[in-house]
C-alpha cells in the first residue's frame, strides 16, 4: 500500500492512521508552495504529525535549516519525506562527522518511475534543505517526530556567515535552473 494522506487517514508503510486537518499554514512569499498540517489521532499523535506540501511546477521551497533539538530529548528528532505525485528533487546538506565536512545530497523523485513509488527520505536536526518541483509540480507528505513546533525549521539567510558555503552554492545553482529533475549536479 503506497504512502498517502487524504481525508482522515495517513497511510505509511502499509499502516493506516487516523488524522485530522490542523489547517493550512502560512508560507513564505515569493515561494510557490502550500502546506496543510495534520494531527495524528491516538497515542501515535504524541510522537508524530504530518503535513501535505504542494509545490507548483518548477517552484521550490525556501532555503531552510531543520533545528528541532528538544531540551532533554533522548530520542533523535527527525523528518521523513514521502514524495507522492509529480516530480522533483530534494537538496540536502548535512554535516558528515566522520569526514568533518558538509556533504551535499540530491534525492530525485518522479511518480512515472515505478521504482520510486514508495520513496522515503529521512533527515534530522542540523540539516539544510530545499525541495524543487519539476515541470509537473510536486506533492509530498512530511512526517515529523516529535510533532512539529513553531521554530523547528528556520529560513536560511544565504548571506549569513554560519550558512555552509557548500549549501549556498548548491542552493543557488539548484534554484536557478528551469529544467526537470536530475539536470544539475
Does the pLDDT at position 165 exceed 90? yes
Cβ(102)–Cβ(166) under 8 Å? yes
Cβ(167)–Cβ(120) under 8 Å? no
Sorted by where each begins, the domain ranges of the chain are 4-175
Q: Tens digits of per-residue pLDDT, 61-96?
A: 999 998 866 555 545 667 889 899 999 999 999 999
Q: How confident is the model at residue 135 (pLDDT cuts 50, 70, 90)?
A: very high
**Rounded Cα–Cα distance for residues 105 and 123 (Å):** 11
Q: How confident is the model at residue 106 (pLDDT cuts 50, 70, 90)?
A: very high
**Rounded Cα–Cα distance for residues 141 and 25 (Å):** 14
And the C-alpha cell for 126?
Answer: 542540523
- Inter-CA distances, 157 with 13, 35, 93, 172, 175, Å: 36, 21, 15, 12, 15
Q: How confident is the model at residue 13 (pLDDT cuts 50, 70, 90)?
A: confident
The 8-class DSSP code of residue 115 comes to G
Query: 65: which strand partners?
Result: 128, 154
Looking at domain 4-175, its CATH class is mainly beta
Pairing type for strands 49-55 and 128-145 reads antiparallel
The H-or-E segment that residue 175 falls in is helix 165-175
Amino acid at each position: 500500500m503506497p504512502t498517502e494522506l487524504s481525508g482522515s487517514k495517513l497511510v505509511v508503510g502499509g499502516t493506516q492512521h487516523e488524522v485530522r486537518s490542523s489547517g493550512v499554514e502560512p508560507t513564505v512569499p515569493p515561494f510557490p508552495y502550500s502546506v496543510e498540517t495534520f494531527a495524528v489521532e491516538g497515542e501515535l499523535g504524541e510522537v508524530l504529525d504530518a503535513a501535505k506540501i504542494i509545490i507548483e511546477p518548477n517552484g521550490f521551497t525556501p532555503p531552510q535549516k531543520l533545528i528541532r533539538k528538544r531540551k532533554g530529548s533522548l530520542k533523535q528528532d527527525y523528518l521523513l519525506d514521502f514524495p507522492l505525485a509529480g516530480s522533483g528533487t530534494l537538496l540536502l546538506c548535512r554535516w558528515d562527522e566522520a569526514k568533518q565536512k558538509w556533504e551535499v545530497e540530491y534525492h530525485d523523485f518522479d511518480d512515472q518511475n515505478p521504482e520510486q513509488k514508495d520513496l522515503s527520505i529521512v533527515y534530522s536536526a542540523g540539516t539544510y534543505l530545499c525541495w524543487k518541483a519539476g515541470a509537473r509540480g510536486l506533492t509530498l507528505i512530511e512526517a515529523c517526530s516529535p510533532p512539529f513546533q513553531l521554530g523547528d525549521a528556520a529560513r536560511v539567510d544565504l548571506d549569513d556567515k554560519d550558512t555552509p558555503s557548500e549549501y549556498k552554492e548548491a542552493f543557488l545553482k539548484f534554484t536557478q535552473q528551469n529544467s526537470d529533475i536530475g539536470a544539475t549536479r
